[in-house]
Chain A
Amino acid sequence: MKELIEELKNEIIEVLNLEGMTPADIDENAPLFGEGLGLDSIDALELIVLLEKNYGIKLNNANEGKEIFKSVTVMAEYIAAHRTK
């Protein structure tokens, strides 16, 4: 899990173009949206693309992301349970 969390942090920084940030800057238990990193609905869509592209998980409704993207840890747990690649 620890490896997956680290991998995810790097992927998030890349797909969301978070210039100047390192994995250490992201608290894996902090909320990604609202407070925390302050991401928004478009970032959520980018993360949905990330899930599909890198882990073969396809979400059909953007609202499903709300639960999954609560934090990097929650996201990693979801990926571990549902990944197809």
Chain B
Amino acid sequence: MERIVVTGTGIITSLGMGKAVTLENLQSERRAIGTLQHLHTKHTDIPAGEVPYSDDEMRELLGIAADKKITRTSLLGRVALKEALAEAHLQTASDKRVAFINGNTVGGMEKSERFYHHFLNDNERNDYIALHDCGACTDLIAEEYGGKFELITTISTACSSAANAIILGANLIREGKADIAVVGGTECLSLFHLNGFNSLMILDNEPCRPFDAERHGLNLGEGAAYIVIEGESTAARRGIAPLCQLSGYGNACDAFHQTATSPNGEGAYRAMRQALASSGLTPDDIDYINAHGTGTGNNDLCEGIAMMRIFGDQMPPVSSTKSYTGHTTSAAGGVESVISILALQHQFIPANIGFKTPIAEHNFRPVGHVVKDAALQHVLTNSFGFGGNDSSCIFSTLDTAKQASDVKQSGSKSRISTGDAYIRAISQISVQQPLNDEWFEHPIMPAQPYNESIEPDYKPYFSPIAARRMGKLLKRAVATAVSTLQKACVPTDGTAQLDAVITGTGLGCIDSTEKFLTAMLDNDEECLPPTHFMQSTHNTIGSQVALHLKCHGYNCTYSHRGTSFDSSLFDALAQIRLGLIHNALVGGQDEMTPAYFDMLGKIGYWKKDDVSPDTLRKADSPGSFSGSCSLNMFVTDAPDSESLCRIDGMDLLNKPTPDELREHVKQLIANAGLTPDDVPYLMLGLSGDKENDAVYRAFSTDILPQKNILWYKHIFGESFCSSAFGVYAAALCLHRNTVPAHLFYGKNYSKALPKHILVYNHFHNIDHSLLLLSQC
């Protein structure tokens, strides 16, 4: 298998802007944790690693107009992206397909928390409503690229977001969906997560001391970092000398607790093991571990124990560079990858500043001071997130004797994968009858702009005590997960080989987010409930599902607005094609609250009056109606008699031209051995919104003409994950070999048998997804 090399890096943290100053400060052991200057909080006694630039200074450096609406997270991202692209010689349009995968959690919260009362009460800050979510943040960063990214998505697994972006990027290159991937993450400090971590009582009032027996918690930091990765031959053809190689990576789930790490660090252990296995390396090959090392009692103890399980008494040098930068949360995987790459390039080991006394249970001492002239060939870097989303990456010099072997996922069966994928079961909770397919024959036709989901009886799914920290969306997600696996005849007690839990959510548990935000604003940052903060992270949904199912497999969460679910499915299919996994539970999870509904209403998301399929068909005004989405599907590489349909192929595209879209549709159909005439049905995300529907109509007239058009949003409504219902509707039509009349968008009902259906979804004509489904 071809090596994946790193050809560019970019970084900004409290240590400064760019690699040169970062390197200088790392080598001179300059810790950059101090009093907050730019974030205004009443907790002035909490130290943090704040980037020493104001928003205005960054705007000026980047040449961004003063009136452009942008968030600090995006500004940080643009600074780092610019540096990485420049080093990789990618400033202008490339003939290569370049993917951009961004890790982020806080999104535009730093503005939302300031303007929340405006959002609710007046129309003065409406421009920032659309910039709140993680996907919007990613799009603002992508504008820094002079060319056009082939595909863009956002990963939100809290503190391992950027590491998981690296993993997806590498998989997409290996699968051939991209030639180059720009991967990493960004996060700015916000009152929201500063107070959130404070409510968990894990912030140290002194500079943090990772791996020290006397440690008292973490310091938050902020920053952004990206790396550019590509196949070695792509770099050679472009005439770029690589910096190093990405030789291995692993992702596993601790599946132990919503926030705490298991005592033996199971998830961390599995992630590191997998990274080693995929690189073809053994523990004694690792020359330096850049640990997650947050400085909390729980993380450092358990991470150390997990490392001891792998490295025994031959522990390589270990340090946590969070002692320099603070914990940059979603950016951390990128920041620490760039630091690991600097260590390889300059052959030094950064210090673990502030360490004095080892932890009693540990058999190692972290590196107290910088080691110069270290002989480093292989560096392992860890990134662990809330909910046990644990990932590890290994970077290696280019001249290493060992070559990366085929990527293998530890624990996977030896069965050879053909790369085919099938949907075996789907279950949903929405405005339709829950956990069944009754809507297929007897749909409920919502008439209001705002609609609540119909809740099932949750008693069969979890006990009241387990439900105490589960908001509505978490309950729905777990119930649909269990129900899906039951339909697929897969045990739900942890005994089955479930390889992956992949979740899409545009907004996460916004009900919890609103509760925490309101409490923070109303109580002046005092007496805040940690439960609501914990549930506000997007990955809490996928983690909760894994926790309930005891699934230690791959776990990832996508938060990229209208293609959040599509991104999850795309990831699952890439890994099935690569033989990394045999099956995955793929979900789309979004809820709506009255307050958020009102905010989105201000920027044209909803109809003002009652709706019906006929009024929606007119599509003569902005918006649709709102329906929450909770859906899980079980995707597997092996068909059986129960399979609903086969997945023939999928594309995820950012801002394609009509010609590019046409070409992708042609290829997708041709790759399945079909011609356009073989595909009699289009499943489109038509919703009644004037502008969005115009794009769908153009698709059905210009891109793939003369098709029978089906729709589903008139039944399920609009939400960031509603595209999941399009896949669901198409899968049922294929399985039952019939298309019910209510799914036809036009008045003429076709008698054509649904052998193949093309599902097409786009979000505001920015991100587009194409999915070809066929009867088994």
Known: A42-B258, A46-B531. 16 other contacts (CB 8 A): A15-B529, A18-B465, A18-B468, A19-B464, A19-B467, A19-B468, A37-B465, A41-B259, A41-B260, A42-B259, A42-B530, A45-B201, A49-B528, A49-B529, A52-B527, A53-B527
Query: Within 8 Å CB of A37, what residues of B?
Result: 465
Given A40-B257, A41-B260, A62-B201: A17 touches B530 (CB 8 Å cut-off)? no
Query: Within 8 Å CB of A38, what residues of B?
Result: 465
B469 CB within 8 Å of chain A:
yes
Chain B, interface size: which category?
Answer: 10 to 19
Within the assembled complex, what's the spacing in Å between the Cα atoms of A37 and B466?
11
Question: Does A45 contact B200, Cβ atoms closer than 8 Å?
Answer: yes
A34 CB within 8 Å of chain B:
no
Within the assembled complex, what's the spacing in Å between the Cα atoms of A46 and B257?
16
Name the CB-closest residue of B to A17.
B468
CB distance from A21 to the nearest CB of B (A): 7
B630 CB within 8 Å of chain A:
no
Query: Within 8 Å CB of B257, what residues of A?
Result: 40
B769 CB within 8 Å of chain A:
no
Question: Does A46 contact B529, Cβ atoms closer than 8 Å?
Answer: yes
Can you report 12 A-B residue pairs in the complex whose CB atoms are below 8 A from each other? A17-B467, A17-B531, A19-B468, A21-B464, A38-B465, A42-B200, A42-B530, A45-B199, A46-B529, A46-B531, A49-B529, A53-B527
B134 CB within 8 Å of chain A:
no
Within the assembled complex, what's the spacing in Å between the Cα atoms of A48 and B529?
9
Within the assembled complex, what's the spacing in Å between the Cα atoms of A53 and B526?
9
Name the CB-closest residue of A to B471.
A17
Question: Does B201 contact A42, Cβ atoms closer than 8 Å?
Answer: no
* Other-chain residue from B258, B260, B468, B527 in contact with A49 (beta carbon distance below 8 A): B527
B4 CB within 8 Å of chain A:
no
* Other-chain residue from B259, B260, B469 in contact with A17 (beta carbon distance below 8 A): B469
B534 CB within 8 Å of chain A:
yes
Question: Does A61 contact B529, Cβ atoms closer than 8 Å?
Answer: no
Question: Does B201 contact A61, Cβ atoms closer than 8 Å?
Answer: yes
CB distance from B145 to the nearest CB of A (A): 41
Chain A, interface size: which category?
Answer: 20 to 34
CB distance from A66 to the nearest CB of B (A): 13
Q: Which residues of chain B in 184-201 are interfacial with respect to chain A, using CB atoms and an 8 Å cutoff?
A: 199-201
Query: Within 8 Å CB of B467, what residues of A?
Result: 17, 19
Q: Which 8 interchain pairs have the tightest Cβ spacing?
A: A62-B201, A53-B527, A17-B468, A45-B530, A19-B464, A20-B464, A52-B527, A49-B527
CB distance from A58 to the nearest CB of B (A): 9
Name the CB-closest residue of B to A54.
B527
Query: Within 8 Å CB of A30, what residues of B?
Result: none
Q: Which residues of chain B in 507-548 are interfacial with respect to chain A, using CB atoms and an 8 Å cutoff?
A: 526-531, 534
Within the assembled complex, what's the spacing in Å between the Cα atoms of A52 and B738?
61
Q: Which residues of chain A in 25-54 are interfacial with respect to chain B, using CB atoms and an 8 Å cutoff?
A: 37-38, 40-43, 45-46, 48-49, 52-53
Most-contacted residue by chain B among A15, A37, A49 (CB, 10 A): A49
Q: Which residues of chain B in 457-476 are interfacial with respect to chain A, using CB atoms and an 8 Å cutoff?
A: 464-465, 467-469
Q: Which residues in B have some Cβ–Cβ distance to A below 8 Å?
A: 199-201, 257-260, 464-465, 467-469, 526-531, 534
Question: Does B259 contact A18, Cβ atoms closer than 8 Å?
Answer: no
Within the assembled complex, what's the spacing in Å between the Cα atoms of A52 and B527?
7
Query: Within 8 Å CB of A18, what residues of B?
Result: 464-465, 468
Query: Within 8 Å CB of B529, what residues of A?
Result: 15, 46, 49
CB distance from B766 to the nearest CB of A (A): 38
Query: Within 8 Å CB of B531, what residues of A?
Result: 17, 42, 46
CB distance from B520 to the nearest CB of A (A): 13
Contact with B along A50-84 (1 / 0, CB 8 A): 00110000000110000000000000000000000
Within the assembled complex, what's the spacing in Å between the Cα atoms of A21 and B526?
28
Query: Within 8 Å CB of B201, what residues of A?
Result: 45, 48, 61-62
Within the assembled complex, what's the spacing in Å between the Cα atoms of A30 and B534?
28
Within the assembled complex, what's the spacing in Å between the Cα atoms of A15 and B528?
12
CB distance from B298 to the nearest CB of A (A): 8
CB distance from B509 to the nearest CB of A (A): 14
Query: Within 8 Å CB of A62, what residues of B?
Result: 201
CB distance from A76 to the nearest CB of B (A): 20
CB distance from B571 to the nearest CB of A (A): 29
Name the CB-closest residue of A to B259.
A42
Query: Within 8 Å CB of B468, what residues of A?
Result: 16-19, 43
Query: Within 8 Å CB of A41, what residues of B?
Result: 259-260
Within the assembled complex, what's the spacing in Å between the Cα atoms of A37 and B412?
38
Name the CB-closest residue of B to A61.
B201
CB distance from B451 to the nearest CB of A (A): 24
CB distance from A31 to the nearest CB of B (A): 15
Within the assembled complex, what's the spacing in Å between the Cα atoms of A49 and B531?
11
Within the assembled complex, what's the spacing in Å between the Cα atoms of A52 and B523?
12
CB distance from B490 to the nearest CB of A (A): 28
Query: Within 8 Å CB of A40, what residues of B?
Result: 257, 260
CB distance from A32 to the nearest CB of B (A): 12
Given A41-B260, A42-B258: A49 touches B465 (CB 8 Å cut-off)? no
Within the assembled complex, what's the spacing in Å between the Cα atoms of A62 and B527?
14
Query: Within 8 Å CB of B528, what residues of A?
Result: 49
Within the assembled complex, what's the spacing in Å between the Cα atoms of A18 and B259?
19
Question: Does B465 contact A46, Cβ atoms closer than 8 Å?
Answer: no
Name the CB-closest residue of B to A62.
B201
Query: Within 8 Å CB of B258, what residues of A?
Result: 42
CB distance from A46 to the nearest CB of B (A): 6
Within the assembled complex, what's the spacing in Å between the Cα atoms of A49 and B527?
5
* Other-chain residue from A19, A49, A61 in contact with B199 (beta carbon distance below 8 A): A49
CB distance from B516 to the nearest CB of A (A): 12
Within the assembled complex, what's the spacing in Å between the Cα atoms of A38 and B201?
21
Within the assembled complex, what's the spacing in Å between the Cα atoms of A41 and B528?
15
Within the assembled complex, what's the spacing in Å between the Cα atoms of A38 and B464?
12
Name the CB-closest residue of B to A38.
B465
CB distance from A23 to the nearest CB of B (A): 15
CB distance from A25 to the nearest CB of B (A): 11
Within the assembled complex, what's the spacing in Å between the Cα atoms of A12 and B464?
15
Name the CB-closest residue of B to A41.
B260
Query: Within 8 Å CB of B465, what residues of A?
Result: 18, 37-38
CB distance from B383 to the nearest CB of A (A): 22
CB distance from A44 to the nearest CB of B (A): 9
CB distance from B236 to the nearest CB of A (A): 51
CB distance from A27 to the nearest CB of B (A): 15
Query: Within 8 Å CB of B527, what residues of A?
Result: 49, 52-53
Query: Within 8 Å CB of B464, what residues of A?
Result: 18-21
CB distance from B700 to the nearest CB of A (A): 48
Within the assembled complex, what's the spacing in Å between the Cα atoms of A53 and B168?
44
Most-contacted residue by chain B among A17, A38, A40, A61 (CB, 10 A): A17
Name the CB-closest residue of A to B458.
A19
Within the assembled complex, what's the spacing in Å between the Cα atoms of A62 and B216?
11
Within the assembled complex, what's the spacing in Å between the Cα atoms of A40 and B464?
15
Query: Within 8 Å CB of A19, what residues of B?
Result: 464, 467-468
CB distance from A83 to the nearest CB of B (A): 15
Most-contacted residue by chain A among B200, B464, B468 (CB, 10 A): B468
Name the CB-closest residue of A to B467.
A19
Within the assembled complex, what's the spacing in Å between the Cα atoms of A63 and B534?
20
CB distance from A68 to the nearest CB of B (A): 14
